[in-house]
Structure 1
Amino acid sequence: MTPALVVRDMALADVDRVSEIRIRGRQSAYRGLLPQPYLDAPSVAEDAERRRARFGQGGAGVVNLVVEQAGRVVGRAAHGGCRDGEVRADDTELYAIYVDTEYLGRGVGRVLLQESVRRAGALGYSRTYLWVLKGNATARRFYERAGLHADGAEEPFEVEGVAVPEVRHLGHLPL
């Protein structure tokens, strides 16, 4: 029997593992979409150091979650207020979901997404947005199956001189 997935608030003690998941996840998901030197930096240790320094500061309204299986952190999600410059009291933004590459396809991302939107809905938000690299077909399919669909907005994103467009997805809560 597979141990249950347990979602909880991220703790300072989770920072090293979360950085490992984030860096390895970026390298896997964005291979061929972003320049390799960008994917190779920062190291897990550098990312953890920056994350640790910011952890206590957080942002007002930013929710950082982790999911564990058998006591091991296997994924992370973050959501909070929209960052696109518009003030929209009814909206929230999913900033990130990263899953340990060994756990892809096991429901970890789905559990993190469900808990993120559940918490946002409980706070009275009616919509959630997220930005996804246009070429990240796997992530886009995941979000679309969950009920978040491209709404037509596209934003230029440049990494080391390479244009990498992002598309915005929108979901009405509850999904």
Structure 2
Amino acid sequence: MDVYVREMTEADCPAVAEIRVLGWQFAYAGLIPQSYLDAMSVIDDRERCRDRLARAAQGVVALVAERAGTVVGWASFGPYRDGDLPPTATELYALYVHPDHIGTGAGRALAAEVVARCSASGTPRLLLWVLKGNSRARRFYELAGFAPDGAEEPFEVEGVPVPEVRYARTLH
């Protein structure tokens, strides 16, 4: 069954909140304290989802992947948030697929659409941050043409260090 990628709307917020929370709980189990993951709430995340969607005026783009009319994935990208690179850099902030749909092509479709849109807009490099210990995500991004660029960031959740590495893909 084909995956259709489109711009996210406010009506998608309940599905995106579920994908984000379940995605974190699935992807970060064993990497982030379980107490933090267990405390995540789909209901609480719905409002944050609406706030993230409102950032579209600031150049942030949110996409969803649908299969047979059901939202199964979500991605968000926009201006790079750290000040160590030129303002032309674009960052993939998030890409999550509902755990029941991992490995079905939804993530690949979202990544391909983000790359296509960034390339069409003249973005020279697309960057993202991934947890150093998240081998599944790192493998996914490497297959999508990204590679670590040597930058690392400390990240901490409930006092537990979970460092991130930056990945980059040259588009032009």
State TM-score, norm by structure 1: 0.93
**Secondary structure of the structure 2 residue equivalent to 1:109:** helix
User: Could you tell me how far 1:173 is from its partner in structure 2?
Assistant: 1.1
User: Could you tell me how far 1:114 is from its partner in structure 2?
Assistant: 0.5
Contact kept in structure 1, 2:147 and 2:168, CA below 8 Å:
yes
User: Could you tell me how far 1:56 is from its partner in structure 2?
Assistant: 2.8
Contact kept in structure 1, 2:154 and 2:164, CA below 8 Å:
yes
State TM-score, norm by structure 2: 0.95
**Secondary structure of the structure 2 residue equivalent to 1:125:** coil
Amino acid paired to 2:6: R
2:9 is aligned to 11
Q: Distance in 2 between matches of 1:28 and 1:113?
A: 19
**Secondary structure of the structure 1 residue equivalent to 2:35:** helix
**What aligned pairs does 1:1-175 form with structure 2 within 5 A after superposition?**
2=1, 4-58=2-56, 60-173=58-171
Contact kept in structure 1, 2:80 and 2:87, CA below 8 Å:
no
Unmatched 5+ stretches in structure 2:
none
**Secondary structure of the structure 2 residue equivalent to 1:24:** helix
Amino acid paired to 1:62: V
Unmatched 5+ stretches in structure 1:
none
CA deviation map 1:1-45 (0-9, x unaligned):
x2x111000000000000001100100000000011211233100
More helix by share: 2
Deviating 4+ runs (over 4 angstroms) = none
Q: Distance in 1 between matches of 2:117 and 2:27?
A: 26
Amino acid paired to 2:134: N
Q: Distance in 2 between matches of 1:47 and 1:123?
A: 30
**Secondary structure of the structure 1 residue equivalent to 2:58:** coil
User: Could you tell me how far 1:75 is from its partner in structure 2?
Assistant: 0.2
CA deviation map 1:52-97 (0-9, x unaligned):
2453344511000001010000000000110112351432110010
Instruction: Call closer, same or farther: CA 1:89–1:54 in 2, change over 3 Å.
Output: closer
Q: Distance in 1 between matches of 2:54 and 2:107?
A: 25
Q: Distance in 1 between matches of 2:144 and 2:52?
A: 30
Q: Distance in 2 between matches of 1:173 and 1:50?
A: 31
Q: Distance in 2 between matches of 1:153 and 1:81?
A: 18
Q: Which moved more, 1:45-54 or 1:157-166?
A: 45-54
Amino acid paired to 1:97: L
**Secondary structure of the structure 2 residue equivalent to 1:110:** helix
Q: Distance in 1 between matches of 2:160 and 2:54?
A: 34
Contact kept in structure 2, 1:89 and 1:125, CA below 8 Å:
no
